[in-house]
Structure 1
Amino acid sequence: MALYFLPDYPSRDFLAMAFNVDGEGNIPTIYSSLALLFSSLLLGAIAYAKNLDSCRYQNHWKILSFIFLGLSVDEMAQLHEHLIGLRSVLNATGVLYFTWIVPIGFLVVIFLLSYSKFVFHLPVATKKLFLAACALYIGGAMGMEMPGGYLASTTGAENVSYVIVTTIEESLEMLGIVVFIHALISYIKTYLGGVSWNIYIPGKNTQVTEDQNIGIPALSGPAHTNLSR
């Protein structure tokens, strides 16, 4: 918006590039990648707890953790952009101008179908948050990518309309991950009794033994343990 509506000022172009949500290797990209990585770590913690409990859905949690790890790497490296080469093969224009949504959309449908039973076994509150996060993230990543592709193929990407669409798209993705992280933390606190992180730094003059290490609770207050299988 600074580029289109404000007069020139020192470092305007640099700041616009640094905070452009549709850019690569900048602040929004790093934030989104770290948010996805944090989701992967939370999913890994849940998978570990489910493995100890021999939960029948333990592998679903593990796979989700790896999926979000992959999404984090993709967000930073923009690997899915390489699929744009399909544009010439499919002769894609309009809403399918960004052709990566075709193969990725197919994988998303398979994922949603294969995880339907897993989602519906979750507690009601967690289920609602998962579905809301999924709707926001997929709605942003794929739903808004189609009008963005249409604008890019017809009017180009250097206009206010395209900037608005991409800003909405990336904002929905970020909001979806925030909702998902909230869902995971709430699930850990309510159904797994919380998680604590311990720091132990050995040294010559160590004042704290390993059995007395410093506990930093990530979630306050142990909750009732009601593991849903």
Structure 2
Amino acid sequence: MTEGLRERKKRETRQRISDMATGLFLERGFMEVTIAEIAEAADVSVNTVYNYFPAKEDLFLDRSAQVVERTSRWVRGRDEGESAAGAVLRELRAEVEVVSPRVGLMEGYDRFMRVIHEAPPLRSRLWTLQEEIRDHLEGTLREETGASADDPLPGLIAGQICWVQQMVMVSVGRAMLAGRNPDVVSREVLVLLDDIEELLGAKVLNYAVRGAP
């Protein structure tokens, strides 16, 4: 078997396990499903499941690595003359405006959120994920600005930017849990983003402007 074929089979196995786990979690709840049941549904061994997903929480939040990287990617890709916060606000507006599933604007997202709300380990993992996003963004801001290790500003700015993103996700999640229409929620969250931007100070909005002296 060639290296390329092996990698493809690994990706397919990982995706199959993830899909089976998500289906079981949505049907019965996170706390009610065992790793053994997931392994059986995916036709793999329990050890194979753990090889791909070290913790049960990783099976439900299997895209956490992408989520951690996303905000930093937006900042690194900011336009000339655009600040870090400006880039994140622009990207969030774009996602909300097109009613993107990536920010939870989709039918059925209420089921996903309900599983999280009913499972303390998942809520705890989400809290940890938020910390990972903030820490990763702080590192990115230090790299982008050349800030010293003892400069507190990158950490403070990262906290403000992550607050913006968290407010959007919380607002969408609550609205979808309440059974709201994604298109309607999209319009409301766009207004919310305007309100959030007005609350941010000039120091946040003008930090790490690309091309600034």
TM-score (norm 2): 0.32
Larger helix fraction of residues: 2
TM-score (norm 1): 0.30
Q: Which has the higher contact order (CA 8 A, sep 6+)?
A: 2
